[in-house]
Structure 1
Amino acid sequence: MPKYMLIMRGTDESNAAMMASIEEGIARTRLFIEEMMKAGVLLGAEGLDDPGQGAVVDFSGEAPVVTDGPYGETKELFGGFFLLDVASKQEAVEWAKRVPAAPGSKIEIRRVPEEDEVPQDSTVQR
């Protein structure tokens, strides 16, 4: 079955709303994860730390430039993901619609290509 990643993207406003009721959000997320586990579709799930604790490596110039967080003009931040093993994009969409996300959040759905879909002359080692 194909794999799909549900990428959680939030704004400053949606992240603040989530933090205002963090205990409820954690409880709802745990229940959602349990549902996915019972359905046998969850391969992995992780949330990310505060963006202010991160860094960006920018390859725009001749040499990489490292900038510590928080980031500059960012409207949406990648906050975590769910990795699902489902039959179709539509099934991934249906699961995404059930994510207990704060108002203003978005869930991006991306298919993970199978190994045989990656060009065989690639120098990337798996």
Structure 2
Amino acid sequence: MTKYLISFPSEAMDVSQDELPAVSDAAHAVIREAQDAGVYVFTGGINEQVDPVRVAGDGTVTVDTYPQTRELDGGFAVLELPSRDAALEWAAKIATACRCSQEVREFMFDPLV
């Protein structure tokens, strides 16, 4: 089985404050479904209140990001699934719950783990 990252940036979720409880309930229902199906690995969101840092090999810490990841924010789920088609099906469920499109990326297999 392969692990898939299903995610969205914060700005994609354009819902009103009144809609947030319903969106939250729907998203939690999909995650419970993934847990019940045995495909759930973990979910979360990027804490946008904490500055990202880069750590060099010598331990030097710099409050900075790589240019291509400056806008890395939002929410994500990691699911372990039998196929890309299954990942697309789960992404559609999450997209419906969160009311925004989801991006799907596949983790590469690491033979050492």
Structural RMSD (CA): 2.6
**SS of corresponding position for 1:43:** strand
SS of 1:36's equivalent? helix
Provide the C-alpha distance between the structure 2 equivalents of 1:46 and 1:106, rounded to a whole number of angstroms: 17
Q: How many residues align?
A: 102
Task: Answer with 1 or 2: which has the greater Rg.
Answer: 1
Q: Secondary structure at the match of 1:106?
A: coil
TM-score, structure 1 as length reference: 0.65
- Map residues 28-107 of structure 1 onto 2, 5 A cutoff: 28-49=26-47, 51=48, 53-57=49-53, 66=63, 77-99=72-94, 100-102=97-99, 105-107=100-102
Tell me: CA distance 1:57–1:48, structure 2 relative to 1, closer, same or farther (3 Å). closer
Quick one: which of 105, 109, 112 aligns to 1:114? 109
1:81-123 CA deviation, whole Å, 9 max, x = no partner?
A: 1111101111101100111123xx331111111112x8xxxxx
* Structure 2 counterpart of 1:121: none
Q: Deviations over 1:60-101 (max 9, x none)?
A: xxx97526xxxxxx7x65312111110111110110011112
Ranges in structure 2 where 5+ consecutive residues have no aligned partner: 65-69
Runs of 4+ in 1 over 2 A off after TM superposition: 56-59, 63-67
Per the normalisation by structure 2, the TM-score is: 0.72
Question: Percent identity of the aligned residues?
Answer: 25
**8 A contact 1:3–1:86 mirrored in 2:** yes
Query: Partners of 2:54 and 2:17 in 1: how far apart?
Result: 29
Q: Using a 3 Å threshold, how does the CA distance of structure 1 residues 17 and 42 change in structure 2: closer, same or farther?
A: same
* Between structures 1 and 2, the one with greater strand share: 1
Provide the secondary structure at the position in 2 that maps to 1:45: strand
